[in-house]
Amino acid sequence: MRQAVQFYLGDEHCTLSGLNPTLTLLDWLRDRGKTGTKEGCNEGDCGACTVLVVRLDQDRLVWRAVNACIQFVSMLDGAQVYTIEDLGTPDAPHPVQAAMVEQHGSQCGFCTPGFVMSMAAYRKTPGATVDDAQIDDALAGNLCRCTGYAPIVRAMKQSMSAGPDRFDAQVATITERLTTLNDGETVQVSGAEGTLTIPATVDVLADTLVQHPEATIVAGATDVGLWVTKGMKQLRHVVSIGRVPELRKIERTDEGLTISAAVTYQEAKPFIADLLPDAAEMIRRLGSTQVRNSATVCGNIANGSPIGDGPPMFIAAGATLHLRLGNERRSMPLEAYFIAYGKQDRRPGEFVEAVTLPVPEKDVQFRAYKISKRFDQDISAVLGAFFMRRNADGIITSVRLAYGGMAATPKRAANAEAALLGRRWDEATLDAARAAIAQDFTPLTDMRATDWYRRTVAANLLTRFFEETTGGPQARLARTGGLAHV
């Protein structure tokens, strides 16, 4: 058992004992005089606080941009973190810094350190290219009020063809350091402001939670971080599961894809894309690169939010949730986990171990649609996810329609499903299902949408599913004798 958290800040070895388990990395850095990392929103939205975190994953270095404002410093155990101060100097700038100067990528400069860190991380991303969409995706989590994004994107592209940076020469050193840091010890740190446990194995995690069922599980902290920075909550005992080796697994079999509890959306995305391409496109729009680099798939489920994007998609896909309490394990259809607003079927001391997405049969049609005010990095007003199978005669033999944003939990549209099952997938059936949706949900009006908007969108997404799975508006108009254009 180790009684301190250990990591590298730049080239400095840091050992912290007695620390507040929810002290954010941003506060810690700024209190140490590392003020290049800025605080903009303090809730993961603006990217001004972006830092570069390097971890060892199966003997390979993985470089990720993360938001320091919602990352607890305790979560850095075993990692090396770089801030803007570590990147380059005026005499020897990092290629990204040089390109930002040459392309006039900065005005007031407040967002600039965050952009530069995201850009430095992008250069280290396997498969990164100068493709506009890919770059937009990498930088969607950084907001700038004054420069406009074009010069920043130009700087990103320019820096991609620049030579190596200082990190390339350091790979062997960093690998050696991180190998030493990751000693396989459980970490237990207690101080005046609370206790931190970082279990080294899943069995230690299970025991810890049985003994301390009141403890707060933290995976990526992209939800919990906001309880602290915005809700001013003090968590007395944090159990950080991000580095539990058994929970870092992704397993693909002929039957399904099992994503364990510490796997992030960024890591799971290619595997989900292979199974459900439409779900992967939604994941691309879940938060930002920085958020997806920390946010876990299972945290998105465990959090139980009615507007989380993963749960409706995974319910529609027929997912099974796996839970563990001590040595006892149980599994349930994912939808059964969500009981009421803020209430899930999870007993004290129990934790989500994994979620399994079944491999869809070849003739399955699956679509997911996210409606949000801003296209990138915005919470959904409504998310509709639809799964359907039809037999050779075109009769619907299996259907799951799941929505987020329409009720107090992610929920299936039972009446609409009943209107579809056993029917031919045609305009009359669509109309019946659209009408039935009105009985399935009584959505709220809030800052994201009115109840009317939500009800209308929920029905219209079903129409979109119909159009896409039956040949589109052109084919529909041709069938109904309408004009062959829309």
Q: How far apart are the first and last CA of the chain?
A: 67
**Number of residues forming the site for ligand FES (CB under 6 A):** 23
Which lies closer to ligand FES via its Cβ, residue 239 or residue 379? 379
Residues 6+ apart with CB under 8 A from 364: 387, 388, 389
Which lies closer to ligand FAD via its Cβ, residue 262 or residue 399? 262
Q: Residue 406: name its binding partner from ligand FES, ligand FAD, none (Cβ under 5 to 8 Å by kind).
A: none
Minimal distance in Å, beta carbon 121 to ligand FAD?
Answer: 17
In sign, the C-alpha dihedral spanning 175, 177, 182, 188 is negative
Rounded Cα–Cα distance for residues 424 and 116 (Å): 54
Which lies closer to ligand FES via its Cβ, residue 42 or residue 260? 42
Point out which span in 40-48, 370-378, 384-392, 429-437 binds ligand FES (CB under 6 A).
40-48
Residues 6+ apart with CB under 8 A from 378: 285, 372
Minimal distance in Å, beta carbon 137 to ligand FES?
Answer: 17
Does residue 119 interact with ligand FES by CB under 6 A? no
Rounded Cα–Cα distance for residues 438 and 125 (Å): 45
Residue type, 18: G
Cβ-closest position to ligand FAD: 299
DSSP structure string for 8-66? EETTEEEEE-S--TT-BHHHHHHHTT-TTS--SSSSSSS-TTEEEEEEEETTEEEEEEE
Rounded Cα–Cα distance for residues 10 and 52 (Å): 10
Does residue 151 interact with ligand FES by CB under 6 A? no
Minimal distance in Å, beta carbon 328 to ligand FAD?
Answer: 15
Residue type, 240: S
Angle formed by the axes of helices 427-440 and 451-469, to 10°?
150
Q: Residue 308: name its binding partner from ligand FAD, ligand FES, none (Cβ under 5 to 8 Å by kind).
A: ligand FAD
Which lies closer to ligand FES via its Cβ, residue 114 or residue 311? 114
Minimal distance in Å, beta carbon 34 to ligand FAD?
Answer: 22
Residues 88-117 that bind ligand FES (CB under 6 A): 106-112
The pair of structure tokens assigned to 220 is 């990526």
Does residue 71 interact with ligand FES by CB under 6 A? no
Q: Kindly tell me which residue out of 22, 42, 208, 296 binds ligand FES, with binding defined by CB under 6 A.
A: 42
Residues 6+ apart with CB under 8 A from 405: 306, 307, 380, 381, 382, 383, 443, 448, 449, 454
Q: Residue 182: name its binding partner from ligand FES, ligand FAD, none (Cβ under 5 to 8 Å by kind).
A: none
- For residue 389, give the 3-state DSSP assignment: strand
Minimal distance in Å, beta carbon 48 to ligand FES?
Answer: 5
Does residue 278 interact with ligand FES by CB under 6 A? no
Does residue 27 interact with ligand FES by CB under 6 A? no
Q: Kindly tell me which residue out of 5, 48, 117, 241 binds ligand FES, with binding defined by CB under 6 A.
A: 48
**Which DSSP symbol is given to 5?**
E
**Which DSSP symbol is given to 301?**
H
User: In this structure, what are the phi and psi dihedrals at residue 10, rounded to the nearest 5 degrees?
Assistant: 60, -125
- For residue 163, give the 3-state DSSP assignment: coil
Minimal distance in Å, beta carbon 298 to ligand FES?
Answer: 23
Which residue ranges make up the site for ligand FAD (CB under 6 A)? 43-45, 70, 216-224, 241, 261, 286-287, 291, 294-296, 298-300, 302-303, 308-310, 351-352, 377, 379
CB atoms within 10 A of CB 57: 10
Minimal distance in Å, beta carbon 134 to ligand FAD?
Answer: 19
Q: Residue for token digits 């770089």?
A: 82
Q: Residue 150: name its binding partner from ligand FAD, ligand FES, none (Cβ under 5 to 8 Å by kind).
A: none
Assess contact for 368 and 344: CB atoms under 8 A.
no
Does residue 35 interact with ligand FES by CB under 6 A? no
Does residue 289 interact with ligand FES by CB under 6 A? no
Q: Residue 351: name its binding partner from ligand FAD, ligand FES, none (Cβ under 5 to 8 Å by kind).
A: ligand FAD
Which lies closer to ligand FAD via its Cβ, residue 198 or residue 302? 302
Rounded Cα–Cα distance for residues 357 and 314 (Å): 7
Minimal distance in Å, beta carbon 321 to ligand FAD?
Answer: 10
Q: Residue 41: name its binding partner from ligand FAD, ligand FES, none (Cβ under 5 to 8 Å by kind).
A: ligand FES
Does residue 225 interact with ligand FES by CB under 6 A? no
Residue ranges that bind ligand FES, judged by CB under 6 A: 39-42, 44-49, 67, 69, 106-112, 144-147
